[in-house]
Amino acid sequence: MKKSRDTPGSPMIDARHIGPPTRRAFLVGAASALGAAAAHALLAPWPGRAADVPVDPTRVPGAPATDYGRRSTFEHARRLATPQRSRTPLQALHGIVTPSALHFERHHNGVPFIDPARHRLLIHGLVTRPLILTMDELKQFPSTSRLAFVECAGNGGREWQGPAGVTVQDTHGLTSVSEWTGVPLATVLREAGLRPEASWMLAEGSDAAAMTRSLPLARMDTALLCYAQNGEPLRPEQGYPLRLLVPGWEGNTCIKWLRRLKLVSAPRMTREETAKYTDLMPDGAARQFTFEMDAKSVITAPSGGQRVRKPGYVEIRGLAWSGRGRVGQVDVSVDGGRSWRVAQLQTPVLPACHTRFRLDWRWDGREAVLQSRCTDETGYRQPARRELVALRGVNSYYHYNAIQSWKIDERGDVHNVQV
């Protein structure tokens, strides 16, 4: 957890403990900036070295075009990775789209290496005609694109037991937004012809976990079989070449590296829907098939691990989302939930998608506890931690969506607290 913190968007807020270099080497190495040698050096492909930055970029020819772009040498936002997951640096993002390279990861036995030319989707079980489809064929179906978040059911899971994460990346980094492109599940299923008894669908991945979930067809009318993310083919860690997307549902239902759909009349009760991804209640009963991700929000600036430099203007920024539709309203409190102000929502406000919110604030230099609270279009309001724990105890691990509190101390340092 003592990993690097990434630079937040606001100039008023510092990222403390910055790991990667932030040295400003504008002058270093620029002695011959206008000479032919220096110009030639600059024509080398990215990444340019910080030491090569010219004094005045208007006086030196720049780098040539490249076949696949990359970000500036000066940008360091990165995922926090362990072998089976990595977390999105929400504190470093702007707007609502997550760059594909920063989309969080969760896999159950590694990212498989798949040749799309050899990949097949098998549809069988309660269908009139079992089908095999190639990737080429899948891309020929009528296609559609939409923005949607994918959030791991375990996002924030460690917070049940008390404040665990330091940064918002630790506490909320298992959610990301992409524009997903693919073919509606319904379109492909019609191709195989559903038999009347078909009511559930087993979806299986071709990773080393052969990750498998049973999903109820009646509630999946917005599901897509996706082959693209943010305009290009899926990233390997996002299911290349094919994944399921059920907008608003816990991430593990959106089976990646999808190779098989079996139509059945009852759930198969796989390990991932019995032993895992079920929510244990204090009485020993476990909730099963808890698909939707409930309304949630979090302030990303100022947020844990950052520092508000000095009293004065601060734009409070954050993200809100709901698996059950659009965000209706976000309220922000700077006094630990005693009073609330309505935040401004940035358009577009889309169903099952992150929505950016903002609020003008003047920090008076005294201790403050910042919170945000999302109400979605169904009228459901994100619960206080107290409320959620009273209902579910602290051992259900999944589906933690309590209001997040960030305490700003008198020095301006921001801490994860629970009030």
Partner 1 sequence: MCRCDGLLCRGVLLALLGLSPVAAWGGDAGGAVGLGRTATDDEIRAWDIDAAPDGDGLPAGGGTVGEGTGVFAEHCARCHGATGVEGPMAALAGGRGTLATAHPMKTVGSYWPYATTLFDYIRRAMPFDAPQSLTPDQVYAVTAWILFRNGLLEQGAMLNQTTLPRIQMPHRDGFVPDPRPDSR
Binding region for ligand HEC (CB under 6 A) = 108, 275
Positions of E strands within 152-271: 175-184, 200-205, 212-216, 224-229, 232-233, 243-245, 258-264
Name residues contacting partner 1, limited to 298-357 (CB under 8 A).
none
Contact between 199 and partner 1 (CB under 8 A)?
yes
Q: Give me the half-sphere count of Cα atoms (radius 13 Å) on the Cβ side of residue 331.
A: 16
In which residue are the tokens 């098998």 written?
A: 122
Q: Which of 16, 111, 179, 187 lies at the binding interface for partner 1 (CB under 8 A)?
A: 187
Q: Which of 17, 268, 358, 415 lies at the binding interface for partner 1 (CB under 8 A)?
A: 268
Other beta carbons within 10 Å of 240 = 22
Those residues with Cβ within 8 angstroms of residue 372's Cβ, 6 or more apart along the chain or in another chain: 297, 298, 299, 318, 320, 330, 331, 332, 333, 343, 357, 403, 404
Nearer to ligand HEC, 108 or 259 (CB): 108
Contact between 264 and partner 1 (CB under 8 A)?
yes
Least Å distance, CB 188 to partner 1, is 9
Nearer to ligand HEC, 101 or 275 (CB): 275
Contact between 226 and partner 1 (CB under 8 A)?
no
Contact between 140 and partner 1 (CB under 8 A)?
yes
* Partner from partner 1, ligand HEC, none binding residue 377, C-beta < 5-8 Å depending on class: none
Of all helices (H) and strands (E), which one includes residue 319? strand 312-321
Least Å distance, CB 219 to partner 1, is 5
In which residue are the tokens 């959030």 written?
A: 151
Nearer to ligand HEC, 87 or 107 (CB): 107
Q: Please tell me the distance from the alpha carbon of residue 249 to that of residue 386, in angstroms, as a whole number.
A: 24
Least Å distance, CB 170 to ligand HEC, is 21
Nearer to partner 1, 335 or 387 (CB): 387
Sign, CA torsion 417/1/100/248: negative
Those residues with Cβ within 8 angstroms of residue 347's Cβ, 6 or more apart along the chain or in another chain: none
Contact between 275 and partner 1 (CB under 8 A)?
yes
Q: Which of 217, 345, 369, 417 lies at the binding interface for partner 1 (CB under 8 A)?
A: 217
Q: Which stretch binds partner 1 (CB under 8 A): 77-85, 96-104, 150-158, 210-218?
A: 210-218
- The torsion angle over the Cα atoms of residues 122, 124, 127 and 132, rounded to 10 degrees, is 30
In which residue are the tokens 């011959």 written?
A: 32
Contact between 289 and partner 1 (CB under 8 A)?
yes
Phi, psi dihedral angles at 186 (to 5 degrees): -60, -40
Contact between 250 and partner 1 (CB under 8 A)?
no
Q: Which stretch binds partner 1 (CB under 8 A): 52-60, 77-85, 184-192, 365-373?
A: 184-192
